[in-house]
Amino acid sequence: GSAPGCTLAAKRKCAVAQELCPCFSEHASTFVKLLGRTFPEWHLVTEPVAQWQKVQAPGTKEVRVKSFGNLLQMIYQEPSRWSYTFQTYSCMSRLKAQLEPLAERLLKTPEPVQVFERSVYSDRYVFAKNLFEAGHLNPLEWTIYQDWHTFLLQELRDRVALHGFLYLQAAPEKCLERLHRRARSEEKGVQLDYLQQLHAQHESWLVEKTTEVHFANLRSASVLVLDVNQDFERDAAVQDVLMTKVGRAEVPFS
């Protein structure tokens, strides 16, 4: 079914779709939980990390088919070998998540909101771009990635368009400190220079606006910068401040 005035083809326009942009994954996971408690009517879509940790052929059942490998671990161990493979797979998994039909519950909400932990846009303008600039994607791989990425997103248009970005901004040193405290096993070897690179990519794209983007909707999308240098996971007062800012920004995002 669909909401009044909401055709299936334009269903993405009916929901305010936003993306979280954290400096590392644990920031996003913690923030998503906080959003869920504060705005239970919102639809929150987390990163499909489990798919990357256990790659399987589509349509197969876990009990019968062994995993082809932990792609997340493989890219950290051999980035130059696995960067193109990982970015292709991660982007496709994010694309599938963004193309999922809206839940009936969301369609019945007067002002539906979707939040994606990360999207096909940060996949390109932060992670894949950074791998290319670090020399892990060669020029041929980067050209091919950009070619199919642009083609798919231009074909899909409004179905994958986002209205805004919630940028969780923190110093790379703070991110490293938290990452060492509670990161996934695959991320334990992450160094400060890598987090500095990701921070610079986020700043160029979302704050300084110096990253060249290739989709009109990105140029007009709102960006809410949230300072998360304070450890919001353990501080209720900081959580309240952040959630108040998000709540107030809900109208401009639409």
How far is residue 224 from each of residues 160, 236, 249, measured CA to CA in Å?
20, 20, 7
Question: Is 182 marked within a binding site?
Answer: yes
pLDDT at 178: 84
Q: How confident is the model at residue 11 (pLDDT cuts 50, 70, 90)?
A: very low
| Model confidence, pTM | 0.86
pLDDT in tens, 71-118: 999 999 999 999 999 999 999 999 999 999 888 888 788 888 889 999
Question: Is 145 marked within a binding site?
Answer: no
pLDDT at 251: 43
The catalytically annotated residue of 117, 141, 212, 233 is 117
Domain ranges across the chain: 11-47+86-253
pLDDT at 6: 31
Angle, helix 25-38 to helix 236-253, in steps of 10 degrees: 80
- pLDDT (average), residues 3-20: 44
Question: Is 219 marked within a binding site?
Answer: no
pLDDT in tens, 131-182: 999 999 999 999 999 999 999 999 998 899 998 999 999 999 998 888 888 7
Is the pLDDT assigned to residue 14 strictly greater than 70? Answer: no
pLDDT at 59: 66
How far is residue 84 from each of residues 8, 57, 73, 115, 137, measured CA to CA in Å?
33, 18, 14, 26, 6
Tokens for 143, please give them: 């050209």
CATH number of 11-47+86-253: 3.40.50.2300, 3.40.1350.10, 3.40.50.300, 3.10.20.740?
Answer: 3.40.50.300
pLDDT at 213: 95
Beta strand ranges found along the chain (DSSP E) = 16-21, 43-45, 113-116, 164-169, 222-227
Is the pLDDT assigned to residue 21 strictly greater than 90? Answer: no
For the chain, the helix, strand and coil percentages under 3-state DSSP, each to the nearest 5: 55, 10, 35
Question: Is 47 marked within a binding site?
Answer: yes
Can you tell me the distance from the alpha carbon of 168 to that of 225, in angstroms, rounded to the nearest whole number?
6
Closest CA to 106 of 166, 45, 49: 45
Can you tell me the distance from the alpha carbon of 188 to that of 5, in angstroms, rounded to the nearest whole number?
48
pLDDT in tens, 42-75: 889 988 988 999 998 776 565 555 678 899 999 9
141 is an active site residue:
no
* Run of H or E including 74: helix 71-77
Give burial (CB, 10 Å; 0-12/13-18/19+) of 226: buried
